[in-house]
Every structure is written in C-alpha cells, then in structure tokens.
Structure 1
Amino acid sequence: MPGMAAPLSAFVDAALARAGGTPPILFVSGAQGIGKSTALSRVIETSPHRLVGMSLDDFYLTRAERAQLSESVHPLSETRGPPGTHDVALLTETLSDLQQGNAPVRVPIFDKRSDDRLPTEDWRALPSRPDAILLEGWMMGVLPDFTSLETPPLNAVEAAPGALAWRRWQEEQLAGPYAALWDRADAFCHFDAPGFDCVLRWRTQQEAQNQGVALADLPEARKDWVRNFIAHYERLTRRMLSGTRREGVVVKVGANRDVA
C-alpha cells in the first residue's frame, strides 16, 4: 500500500488494537491538496475492518447560513473552510449516531461547484456502528491562540478592513465548539506538508480536478481564486505545522506527496 495510505492504515490498526467495545473515532489532518482524502479512501477499500470515512468539508454550513455570518460577523466569514463555517452540532450528532449504532445514519454532501450543501434526499447513507470512524479535514486538532490577534496580518485577506474581528471569531470558535469536537477523538493522525508554499501548488492541482480539467487548462482567473482562497487558511495551516494542535501520530510528507 504505497504513499500516505500505508501509515494511515497502520494508524487505524493500532487504534483498533487499543479499542474496547466502542468504535474509535479517529481524526486525520493535512493541508489542502495533500492527498488525505485519497489515502482515506484507499484504506477503507483495502482494510479487512469495517471502516466509515467522512470529510469535515461535507459539514460546511449552507450558503445561506454563511451569508448570515457575513452580516453578523464579517464578510470574510462567508468563505467556507475556516473555523465557524461548519455545522459542528450536526457533525457531533452524526459521530454519536455512528458510534452508538443509531440507524439509519445519513451524512450531508457539500457540492463545491455550487458552494452549497445538497438537499437531504441526496445525502449519503452510512452503516451504523462500524469498527472505526475516520474523519479527515485540514485543521483537525488545531488549538486556539488568542495572542495571535496581537500580530499583524499575514496576507491581503487578513489585511481587509475589520478583518481582526474575523480572526477573533475564529479563535473563539476554536476555543468553544471545535475544542469540544476535538475531545470526541480517540486519536489524531497529522500529515505534515514541508511548508505552506506547497499548499498553493497542491490546491491548484485539486481545483483542476474539481473543475474536471487538466491543470494546464485551468483558467488564470481560477488560479487567482485559489490563491486568494488559501489565504483564508494560511494562519491556521502554519499553526498546525508548528505543532500548535492536539497530540497525535505525525507523518511527514514531501513536496511530491511522498512519505518520509
């Protein structure tokens, strides 16, 4: 099992060996475009265990709900991804239902092209009470750091008028609902990129896949959109890579997504 799937499989096997009668909840982090979703799918397909995999991305708030946040918090909060743009309550309820065997369990699907959640009739049905539950996301386990509010903006997004309120709101979310979500995990596995500079290349490749075109055919305007989009994630991605996160297994990934 090549690449990132091998260490992820070993992580899952070790967690199952420690588990009692309750299916363990395992959180997997990694920067945008690093390949964690692909690795998770590979592990689920090849594992002898009954595994359920989900993505934090599927639990984004709806477009309408984020539009409300743009008015009550800051216009930047309408962009999906940062803390506060997920339906943490729904995710927590879903984890409990899966772990306790409450059937049927349906999981939302977020359509990134329309930037909105699909109707409930299109949600995925998952088997309840699997052997283990895996949830992957770019910021799984990141810790709040209110002292960061005293530091200057990292990029043009953070330099937007009034953006300090947006940054404070994220820290409050991390200290509240997301901290409670991290508490649900039995273990964390962190896939570490060499640095933030790799994220733009990886995320641009991912965007081409999302759009169904070759990387060379991705319009320049869309590449600019990706560059602006990941700026919303830069501070917390760097924080994750610095180790300001929940403890867990750490896997170093190279610029070509090879595992060190």
Structure 2
Amino acid sequence: MSPAPHSFSQRRFAPALVAQALDDALASASSTPVLAISGVQGSGKSTLAGQIVELARSRGLCAAAVSIDDTYLTRAQRQRLADRIHPLLATRGPPGTHDLALAMATLDAAKAGQSFPLPRFDKLADERVPEAQWKRIEQPLDLLVFEGWFLGTPAEADEALRTPLNALERDADADGTWRRWCNQALAEHYPALWQRFDRLWMLQPPSFAVVPHWRWQQEQALQQASPGRSSMTRPQLERFVQFYERISRQALRTLPEIADRVIALDAQRQPLVDAQS
C-alpha cells in the first residue's frame, strides 16, 4: 500500500464496524475475497483497510491490503500520454492514469491463491517504487482489501462533460478533450476491474467541500513521515484536488446505490452512526 501515515487522524474505526467489514467479506462465495473500500481522498480508506487486515490476522487468517494508487502508471508512461493526448494526463489520479493490467493481475493472483508482489507507489516522488522493493505475498491469502478513491464508480453521460466544473477544466481543458478521454477510459476499461470485487464498501463524506482540507492534512502527514523530501504547497494541492473533483462528485452521486455498504462520515471523518447489522 502507498505510504499513507495517519498522524493527521489517529482516530480509528469502531471495532464493531471493522468486524462487520471483515465478516461481510468472508461471507462471500470466493475462497479469497476481495473487499473493495471506496472513498474520496483523506476519508480513511487506508486506516479502515489496515484495521481489517489486523483483525483478520488476529483471527489467524492471512490478509493483505493494497491501493489502486499503487498501480499508477510510471511518470514516463504518463508523460507519453500527455504528449500524445493531453498535457493534463501527466498528473496521476484520474481514470486512464492507472496500470489496469497490473491491478487486475494482482487481484487475480490473490484470488487464485498464488504468490505475487504487492505494487507500491511513492507519492512524494510521484513514481512507482522499483519492483524489487515490493513485498511479496508468499502464501495463499484468505482476504485481500483493495482501497481507492473512486472504486466502483461508473462513467458520466456525455452531456455532463460539456461544462467545466472548476478552474482546472476551464483553463486547461476548455475543449473537454481531457475529461472526455478520462470518462471514456472509465467507461471502457475500469468495469473489468470493478467486476473482480466480492464486496464494495463506501466511505461517504458530507460533501466534496471537505476533500481539499482532508487531502491537505494527508499531504502534511506524508511530509512529516519523510522529513527533507518535498511535498505540495497548499496552492499546488488545491489545484491537484481539482483533477479528482469530477469523478469524486460522480462517485458521491452514484456509489450509494451501488455499494454493498455505505458508511456516512462527518467533517472529522467519523461515522455518523454506530455500526449496524
């Protein structure tokens, strides 16, 4: 899983909710279920995934977690997309900037009970960690938790793409080439990945308005964990979040009707209600 320290939010999810997530995944028909956790940036996906893995291991199970962020294309691969299609594709994040073959191969290997390496991506370096440094899963897993900011999200209708929704789209994608290309990638290539999920849980924020604040806290935590390494400034991060805004808003509109379980969060990333059966 990408380095994602949680010093900005030491709050952990209630044990009852963690147990429900684990039990729900294990109740699926798959011998190695994939539990997908979807949620906007900074919502606590990695925290919840880590707690589920901890609980599974405490029960004597073999479990691991990985993020879709760990399957971003390399910087050189994204630059080639930027040169060929649109300059905004140099920036990681939106659909089309992931190595879907790597993501699906990882999930398939887990489901097949095979040995496989867990991909890793260094966000401060904006580059994939060399494969020689990836942790290898040597024994069959009882559970793989797969987390990501837009897992399970369907593409938008074409007419929704006509009007820019933020300054990034207005100033850098006036003709809509970038957002149409990302939406087409989401429509054509990502459903095959979504179909590999046995369960999909969603962490639902009160609105997209909290995302820049949550993501800034996350960026500060990354910097604190790696002193001396550069990170984004607040203005840079505000622009960066705009790359994710369109698909995040689409996820907020659509995933509550798609996910197997929706956990509503308040502005402090706390569930609004206790875990329920």
In the aligned structure 1, how far is the partner of 2:34 from the partner of 2:231?
40
Query: Cα gap change, 1:108/1:56 in structure 2, threshold over 3 Å: closer, same or farther?
Result: same
In the aligned structure 1, how far is the partner of 2:112 from the partner of 2:167?
45
Aligned AA for 1:106?
P
Query: Cα gap change, 1:115/1:251 in structure 2, threshold over 3 Å: closer, same or farther?
Result: same
What is the aligned partner in structure 2 of residue 155 from structure 1? 166
CA-to-aligned-CA distance 1:38-90 (integer Å, 9 cap, x gap): 12112211222322211111100000000001011211111101101110001
In the aligned structure 2, how far is the partner of 1:250 from the partner of 1:102?
31
Which secondary structure does the structure 1 equivalent of 2:167 belong to?
Answer: coil
Among residues 34, 38, 45, which one is paired with 1:36 in the alignment?
A: 45
Asked if 1 retains the 8 angstrom alpha-carbon contact of 2:118 and 2:134, the reply is yes
What is the aligned partner in structure 2 of residue 116 from structure 1? 127
What is the aligned partner in structure 2 of residue 46 from structure 1? 55
In the aligned structure 1, how far is the partner of 2:218 from the partner of 2:148?
15
Matches within 5 A, 1:105-144: 105-144=116-155
> What are the ranges of 5 or more consecutive residues in structure 1 without an aligned counterpart?
214-218
1:6 Cα deviation from its structure 2 partner: 4.2
In the aligned structure 2, how far is the partner of 1:239 from the partner of 1:148?
14
Among residues 239, 245, 248, which one is paired with 1:234 in the alignment?
A: 245
Which secondary structure does the structure 2 equivalent of 1:102 belong to?
Answer: coil
1:5 Cα deviation from its structure 2 partner: 6.0
1:171 Cα deviation from its structure 2 partner: 1.2
Among residues 167, 171, 179, which one is paired with 1:167 in the alignment?
A: 179
* TM, length-normalised to structure 2: 0.85
1:25 aligns with 2:34: yes
* TM, length-normalised to structure 1: 0.90
Matches within 5 A, 1:76-225: 76-103=88-115, 105-163=116-174, 164-212=176-224, 222-225=233-236
Asked if 1 retains the 8 angstrom alpha-carbon contact of 2:219 and 2:232, the reply is no
In the aligned structure 2, how far is the partner of 1:175 from the partner of 1:187?
20
Aligned AA for 2:21?
F
Asked if 2 retains the 8 angstrom alpha-carbon contact of 1:15 and 1:187, the reply is yes
1:251 Cα deviation from its structure 2 partner: 0.6
Aligned alpha-carbon RMSD (Å):
2.2
What is the aligned partner in structure 2 of residue 216 from structure 1? none
> What are the ranges of 5 or more consecutive residues in structure 2 without an aligned counterpart?
1-10, 273-277
In the aligned structure 2, how far is the partner of 1:210 from the partner of 1:160?
29
Moved over 3 A (4+): 148-151, 244-247
Query: Cα gap change, 1:224/1:205 in structure 2, threshold over 3 Å: closer, same or farther?
Result: same
The aligned length equals 254
Q: Structure 1 stretch 155-164 or stretch 28-37: which is displaced more?
A: 155-164
Asked if 2 retains the 8 angstrom alpha-carbon contact of 1:53 and 1:134, the reply is yes
Which secondary structure does the structure 1 equivalent of 2:216 belong to?
Answer: helix
1:18 Cα deviation from its structure 2 partner: 3.2
CA-to-aligned-CA distance 1:152-199 (integer Å, 9 cap, x gap): 111111113445111111111111110111011111000000001111
Which secondary structure does the structure 1 equivalent of 2:190 belong to?
Answer: helix
In the aligned structure 2, how far is the partner of 1:128 from the partner of 1:87?
24
Which secondary structure does the structure 2 equivalent of 1:242 belong to?
Answer: helix
In the aligned structure 1, how far is the partner of 2:231 from the partner of 2:190?
35
